[in-house]
Amino acid sequence: MLQIKQIYKEYKTGNLVQKALDGVSLNLRDNEFVAILGPSGSGKTTLLNIIGGLDRYDSGDLIINGISTKKYKDRDWDSYRNHTIGFVFQSYNLIPHQTVLSNVELALTISGVSKAERKKRAQKALEQVGLGQQLHKKPNQMSGGQMQRVAIARALVNDPEILLADEPTGALDSETSVQVMELLKQVARDRLVVMVTHNPELAEAYATRIVNLKDGKIRSDSCPFEIEESSLGSPVHKSMGRTSMSFLTALSLSFQNLGTKKARTLLTSFAGSIGIIGIALILSLSNGVNAYIKSIEEDTLSEYPLQIQSTAMNLSSMMFDPGSARVEGDSGEIGVTRVLASMFSTVDSNDLEALKLYFDSGESGIENYAKAVEYTYDVDPQIYRLDGNHIRQVNPDGSFSALGIGSGSDSFMSSFMSTDVFYQMPENTDLFQEQYEIKAGRWPEKYNECVVALTSGGEASVIFSYILWD
Ligand code: ADP
Ligand code: MG
């Protein structure tokens, strides 16, 4: 059960304040087909996005099965979106260069389901929407109605409790609209479907409940759901319990994506604090291994360079000296270690400009100790690809943004899941040239050339394949 309580939402652009929702209250049953009607600009999309956790309310509360979301953090919203909600948009939001099957599978890749299982479930979802025979078509070989059915299959493949659809038939003719509505009606048999539409006839014919919105207020509700407040007790505050993915999945994604800057930084800190340095020290105790250590250091350097960033967090000090963060309980009580607080208290910023001047001045003598010093500036390369006769942006990548993750999203989880696959080459590539074998072509020489790095088994990451390949 979903309770929307006195929700207000304003958008401020410059000094213009636009009221989008003006005290909306609505209770939704676990199992019904709600159509939200209203003129353009009445707040329908805003309401749907707030229900789906894509947008935040200013005041009020959204209560999900008795749990208040007032104190939700980004990761709670991530979790809610990934486990509970399926979205269908007017513009389908399919990845044009991927097959229908891959488009549906994509949602599962992110949840870390195995390849065989992914395929099986995606196939089943596509059969459900009547497209079992068209798995290998690309979206541009399909009609609008078919593309919308693919989008519905994608929304359903994770078996969400709630399906949200924003004008799903807005771009369709009346005949295909009817097919999509039939499908949504069938979907609504065992879950909550909330659909925004312009079309009162379709709403009348298919929905089980019609809510009219105007100027951010509810004007009518054909089948209100009153809840005896006292029977519920007050909503509790707690987080979603499950993270957006199992932590293992998140980890394996980040390992697959080892190139990811942030994942690498984290791993570097961990490697520094728990393993590699220790092993090197032990080895150095015995004679004759210096050369070996040197080669290990070089091998790990290209993978784990020492990085100095504008902001940094000192994880190793926390691991070596958690004592400083310990708060003693009274005698007989159990003390607590404030790991998180101490972790964030070590976040600090560096004056990189001064550091570069110092290095450039030659005073530091850094050249004697470093194989190479590289500078990166936070600039994303803009890379496009010619697909037949249209042009597609490959980097920064937007393939995953329809699912609420990847580049652009700023939650903590998505920092593990960056879908960027392009990185700046160091100026001096000697270190790399020793470690990689050229399979085709040659090392890049100019600013507009790039190299594809494969694993030792000759593979590329799954994210890479989604972004770059057909
Ligand atoms: P509907 O979907 O019913 O057409 P919306 O929910 O999109 O309406 O918009 C409600 C009101 O909020 C409109 O006046 C719209 O201009 C405004 N609005 C919506 N999104 C934004 C935004 N991101 N920034 C500024 N104003 C917005
Ligand atoms: Mg809208």
Closest residue by Cα to atom 22, ligand 1, is 11
Q: Which ligand is nearest to the CA of 43?
A: 1
Q: What pLDDT digit, counting tens, does each position of 200-240 carry?
A: 999 999 999 999 999 999 999 999 998 877 666 676 766 55
Closest residue by Cα to atom 16, ligand 1, is 41
What's residue 258's pLDDT?
Answer: 38
| Ligand 1 close to Cβ of residue 39 (< 6 A) | no
Closest residue by Cα to atom 11, ligand 1, is 20
Q: What is the mean pLDDT of the chain?
A: 77
Q: What pLDDT digit, counting tens, does each position of 351-361 carry?
A: 888 888 998 89
What's residue 39's pLDDT?
Answer: 93
Side chain identity at 51, as an amino acid letter? I
What's residue 352's pLDDT?
Answer: 84
Q: Which ligand is nearest to the CA of 47?
A: 1
d(CA 157, CA 166): 18
Q: 0.75 exceeded by the pTM? A: no
DSSP letters spanning 362-419:
T-S-GGGT-S------S----EEEEETTEEEEEES--TTGGGT-STT--SHHHHHT--
What's residue 366's pLDDT?
Answer: 83
What's residue 276's pLDDT?
Answer: 41
- Ion ligand 2 residue ranges (Cβ < 5 Å): 45
| Ligand 1 close to Cβ of residue 264 (< 6 A) | no
Distance 45 CA to ligand 1 centre (A): 7
Closest residue by Cα to atom 17, ligand 1, is 20
pLDDT < 50 regions, the chain: 241-289, 318, 320, 322, 404-417
For residue 100, give the H/E element and its range: helix 100-111
| Ligand 1 close to Cβ of residue 43 (< 6 A) | yes
What's residue 32's pLDDT?
Answer: 96
**Mutational test site, ligand 1, from 9, 22, 46, 57, max ligand atoms within 8 Å of CB:** 46
**Mutational test site, ligand 1, from 7, 8, 11, max ligand atoms within 8 Å of CB:** 11
What's residue 78's pLDDT?
Answer: 78
Helix and strand tally (H, E) in the chain?
18, 17
d(CA 108, CA 465): 15
